[in-house]
Amino acid sequence: MRKQFEAYLAAVNEHDTDKALSYLSSSFQLKFADYDYVIDKKRFVHVLGWDKGVNGKITCSDLEEEKYSIKGLFSERNDFFQLIGIDALTATMVFWFDQRGLIIRQVYMPLAGQPSLKEKLKPAVEWARANRPEELEAIYPQEQMQYNQEMAERWVALLKEWKAAVPA
C-alpha cells in the first residue's frame, strides 16, 4: 500500500492525470471535511487539472500507516498561492484503500490558522474588477472558483498581470 501511495503522490506531482487516476478506485471520493463537500473520481479529473495549471506540488510528513489507510500532514505549494502571498496550505489528509490497494476515499482536513484564499485574493479581485472585469467574471463568476486546468492557467496569468501592474 505504501509503494502505491508514493507512486500516486508522484503521479499527482508530475501532473500525470491518467497515471494518478489509475491508483483510484471507480468509487473514489475526495471529501473536504470543513465544507461537507465530496468530489467523485469523474470530477477529480478537474482538481488534477487545476493542480497542473497552477504548477502544484504536494509534500508530506508524519505518515501513519494502518492496514487500509495512510494519514499524514500534507503541504501544497503552487504558483497561484505564491502570487497571492501564500507560501503553502497545510492539511491533515487520510487516504483509505480497498483490498486491491486502490484509493477509495481521501479526506482533507485543513489545519487551524490557514490563510483565507478569499482574503488573500481580495486585492487582486478589486484590481481585476476595475481593470479586467470580463476576465474576472469568466474565471470567478459570482465569486466562485472554477477548479479545472483552463481556469487555473487563466488565474495565474491574471495574477501575474496584477502583480506587474501594482507596485509592491
Tell me the pLDDT tens digit for each residue of 125-136. Answer: 999 999 999 999
Hey, is 104 helix, strand or coil? strand
* The pLDDT of residue 168 is above 80: no
Alpha-helical regions (H) of 56-108: 79-83
pLDDT digits (tens, 9 = 90+) for 116-127: 999 999 999 999
Spatial separation of the C-alpha atoms in residues 6 and 71, rounded to whole Å = 13
For residues 30 and 94, the answer to whether their CB atoms sit within 8 Å is: no
Share of the chain above pLDDT 90, in %: 95
- For 37, list phi and psi in degrees, rounded to 5: -120, 135
Strand partners, 60: 74
**Confidence band for 1, pLDDT divided at 50, 70 and 90:** confident
| pLDDT for res 99 | 95
pLDDT the model gives residue 94: 98
CB 89 within 8 A of CB 114: yes
Provide the grid cell at 117: 484564499
Report the candidate in 39, 75, 46, 51 with the shortest Cα–Cα distance to residue 156: 51
pTM, rounded to two decimals? 0.93
Domains of the chain with bracketed CATH? 2-110 (3.10.450.50), 117-165 (no CATH)
Q: What is the pLDDT of residue 122?
A: 97
Closest CA to 9 of 62, 57, 67: 57
Q: What is the per-residue pLDDT across 53-78, written as a single tens digit (0 to 9) for each?
A: 999 999 999 999 999 999 999 999 99
What's the pLDDT score for residue 34? 81
Average pLDDT, integer, range 90-95: 97
pLDDT at residue 35, as a whole number: 81
